Structure 1
Amino acid sequence: MKISCRKEDLIAGVNTVQRAVSSKNTLPILQGMRLRTEDENLVFEATDLEIGIRCRIPVNVQEEGQVVLPAKLFSEITRKLPDTDIKIESTDKNINIFYYSSDFSINGYDPDEYPEISDISSGSTIELQSSLFKSMIKQTIFACSLEETRPVFTGLLLQIDKETICLVGTDTHRLAFSKEILTGNSQEFNGIIPSKTMQEIYRLLDDDETLTISFTNSRVIFKFSQVQIVTRLIEGQFPNYKQVIPPSCNTKLFINTKKLLDTVERASLLSKDNYLKTNTVRFNIENSQLSINHYSEMGKIFEQLDIEQNGEDVAISFNAKYLIDLLKVIDSENVIMEISGSFGPCIFRPENNDNYLCLVLPLRN
């Protein structure tokens, strides 16, 4: 392989794929990234066997070839290169990087041993605006579990049902659901995408791009711009989330979103429970007012918000972190809070938007 390019070209390719490099796999070659030429492009590839990312960067190709390099070392080197034209030549498993009158050599791996990041040759495909999908990821990914002992809860359920696309995340204590309309689609799909994959899609997607999603029973490919992300699906049965969403409520509140978020954040500073390891915040809702009256060894806080209340008075407690996470992704001026008693599931919705909700289970204290 013999190419010439700019420093920023190398950095763009490395930055795109490097988070797919395995950090804990015992196979040394998975700690590398593959560089190969294709037409007048340098193709960057990395995979940890769960997610694979491919990126094409236009360069000047003099000779075709490929090489697999230690990802961390190559990433650090590219960032420290001077701002000038860079030439790269490979010999067997190694490369030489030329700049000015200097020469930097890196020892690599055998490219023939690197696993292929394959395309889906046959399968179903849909297209949608990337800004919509990014919004759906943002609204749901915070509800995924971090506990790998229950894999189905560590990903987002992707459901495509002809003219609708849904993302659902849950850690069994909370659930986030987002839906958008697909115009003219007739495809159907149901699979659990690892949250790591969704985080990378969110990081790399620009708002004005078109996103193409191709899928089979075991894999999904996301394509946009010069980037392709391949992911395996998480095996297992996602719970029937529709069964846990209450069809009605005893108390319905309309609350200013920012005021509620600020109030909960302040209250959480004094509500750390060292035994339960949770930040507990308790709402007392009465006569169109929401009040927080909390004492701890660190101090006390009393706050009161004027709200619009329909239905019964109620007292209810939550993990403050769960409320903060969901309120940060609600972009409407007011949030709707639907309460089914002190110990029943509580639903939060943006005002004037039926396509999103977050369910939070209250604490029993």
Structure 2
Amino acid sequence: MCHAAAPHAGPMPGSSMSCARGKPGGTGPASATPDLVGRRPFRPPVEPHAVRTPPRCPRPTAREDSHPTAGAQARRPRARPARGQGVGIPTAVVCTSIGVATTTRLYIVGCGPRTADSTACRLRVGVPCHILATQPRDAAVSTARVRFAFQPHPISSRGRRGRPVPPLPRGDEPMRVTCRQEDLSRSLSTVNRAVATRSPLPILSNILLRAAGDRLELSATNLEIGIACWLAADVSGEGAVTVPARLLSDFVNSLPPGEVVLEMTGKGQTLDVSSDRFRADIRGIDAADFPAFMPDTDQATSFTLPPENLREIISQVTIAAATDESRPVLTGVLTVLDPDAGHVTMAAADGFRLSVREAPLETPLDGRLSVVIPARTLLELARVCGDETQPVQAAITAGRNQIVFRLSHLDLVSLLIDGNFPDYERIVPQTHTTRAVINTRALFQAARVASFFARDAANVVRLSLDPGDEMRPGTVTVSAQAAEVGGNETEVEAAIDGDVMEIAFNAKYLLDVLGVISADQVALELSTPSSPGVFKPVAETPFTHVIMPMHIAR
């Protein structure tokens, strides 16, 4: 068998056979031996670093061939870029054979997409090109091969042939923002609530920073809820970048009060954060990869909510929302917009309790509309609208799958829950046999003390209602009894109308409803020990809370 190390090599020492490139059956040095008839012709090995020449294109004219990068430069071996170079740096591409010019998007290893201007980039498919870095530290010329999945459109190149193509312009100045540490820390705390903690997409763990005009905008999303807020800043260079949310928040929260400077250093997607004697370089991801979560609200159904009691409304309703994801619709709050009645109704239920609250609706609508908003979204809204003085604008998209809340300093967008909410009106009892009016604060304190003993007794708290007589006032006795640790009793004066009644509730549910009622007195309406108990504030506040009773062991 023949072994050849290189073309034109003679016979191997100690072998009587020779390899020649001739037709089988020929004579002399141009003929192969019978053993090689039908075998694959020999091809010399190619070094891994060598550039394989593509199919030869028509030879350029003399003026084209006079380009300084043509000829020997195109036959150079490919130069491997050094580690850390060429990442995120604007580049200019110059072909060795100039024939066409076009505008395209360049995808270069280690770089994001860059748009090349047609006057500064002339490309031919399959031709080795020179990649010229515009940064001084990467001024070395390397050779690479560019392939394009489109047909370039030739343009006139009269008067351009033979001239070196200039590098792409850098454009605007790099991003540079100066803001207060207190404002930046508060904004980061707001958007961090929407950052994904466990996501297969690394960019969802980042915060998008966008500097434009006279403000700095911060955005985060987990693809279910998104928050975008902005703060006043001195912007001397516009731009955008995404950086890890936790790292940036921890660093900014540790800085002393004063000015903080955020600057893109030009080393790719690296954000330089400095304040006083502190400085850090945080590597991020290109802002173009961050998902756009803000929907179009041009055709949306819009309405307003009063800001003065919005937090109270949300807290009273969301306590009854379920936390178990087995029934997703119960983890949300049913929101019914009724323009005829002139109010918006919010209801939540988890199978053991129900909360219903109404609020005035001042925005005219075309008809009745109902959606299910996630309880978590409303809790985030209540958390960020504490100091809000303007009405909160809400917009439901035309597809009925997203809702946007607009405040003076931020936007909050969330997905809506798709499903049929139970008919809650059938759950609320319409009649009662016993009604007690009790001081809210006193009943809360008695239930709280009883909950300490109820922890070892299935969390059961008993309420015994005694209407009293002419000689003594009515009382409500709150008690809990645990066989292992003991028990307690607390009497609370009350105005009771009806029969004597004893009923038991879950201690947590009882404390939750008493904790969100701001009225001085609360009314408890009962029918039987096995029927639901209804709690209502003794005020004009249209709030109703229903709790299912617990079984009392005799």
User: Which bracket does the TM-score occupy, shorter chain normalised?
Assistant: over 0.9
Question: In the alignment, is residue 359 of structure 1 matched against residue 536 of structure 2?
Answer: no
Aligned partner of 1:98 in structure 2 is: 274
Aligned partner of 1:6 in structure 2 is: 180
TM (norm. structure 1) is 0.94
Distance 1:204 1:257 in 2: 28
Structural RMSD (CA): 1.7
Aligned partner of 2:244 in structure 1 is: 70
Deviant stretches of 4+, over 4 Å: none
Deviations 1:162-207 (A, max 9, x none): 1211221211100111101123522543112112211111111025
Q: 1:318 to 1:101 in 2, by over 3 A?
A: closer
Distance 1:6 1:301 in 2: 54
| Aligned partner of 1:202 among 382, 386, 403 | 382
Amino acid at match of 2:308: S
Question: Secondary structure, in 3 states, of the residue corresponding to 1:126?
Answer: strand
Per-residue deviation at 1:354? 5.3
Q: 1:97 to 1:354 in 2, by over 3 A?
A: closer
Structure number with bigger Rg? 2
| Aligned partner of 1:56 among 230, 237, 255 | 230
Equivalent pair of 1:273/1:280 in contact (CA under 8 Å): no
Structure 1 residues not aligned, in runs of 5+:
none
Amino acid at match of 1:228: D
Question: Secondary structure, in 3 states, of the residue corresponding to 2:550?
Answer: coil
Q: 1:42 to 1:314 in 2, by over 3 A?
A: same
Per-residue deviation at 1:248? 0.9
Aligned partner of 1:284 in structure 2 is: 464
Equivalent pair of 2:451/2:480 in contact (CA under 8 Å): no
Equivalent pair of 2:388/2:408 in contact (CA under 8 Å): no
Per-residue deviation at 1:102? 5.4
Q: 1:146 to 1:237 in 2, by over 3 A?
A: same
Structure (1/2) with the larger helix percentage:
1
Equivalent pair of 1:132/1:180 in contact (CA under 8 Å): no
Deviations 1:314-352 (A, max 9, x none): 211110110111011111121111112111111100002
Equivalent positions of 1:155-166 (< 5 A) are 155-162=332-339, 163-166=342-345
Aligned partner of 2:521 in structure 1 is: 334
Aligned partner of 1:185 in structure 2 is: 364
Structure 2 residues not aligned, in runs of 5+:
1-174, 468-473
Amino acid at match of 2:451: S
Give percent identity, aligned residues only: 29
Aligned partner of 1:40 in structure 2 is: 214
Q: Which sits farther off after the overlay, 337-346 or 129-138?
A: 129-138
Q: Which sits farther off after the overlay, 170-179 or 110-119?
A: 110-119
Distance 2:254 2:278 in 1: 13
Aligned partner of 1:221 in structure 2 is: 404
Aligned residues: 362
Amino acid at match of 1:158: T
Q: 1:9 to 1:268 in 2, by over 3 A?
A: closer
Amino acid at match of 2:316: Q
Structure (1/2) with the larger strand percentage:
1
Q: 1:33 to 1:351 in 2, by over 3 A?
A: same
TM (norm. structure 2) is 0.63
Question: Secondary structure, in 3 states, of the residue corresponding to 1:130?
Answer: coil
Equivalent positions of 1:60-139 (< 5 A) are 60-90=234-264, 91=266, 92-100=268-276, 103-119=279-295, 120-139=297-316
Question: Secondary structure, in 3 states, of the residue corresponding to 1:269?
Answer: helix
| Aligned partner of 2:427 among 227, 239, 244 | 244
Per-residue deviation at 1:26? 2.0
Distance 1:102 1:267 in 2: 52
Distance 2:282 2:363 in 1: 51
| Aligned partner of 2:446 among 252, 259, 263 | 263
Relative contact order higher in (CA < 8 Å, ≥ 6 apart): 1
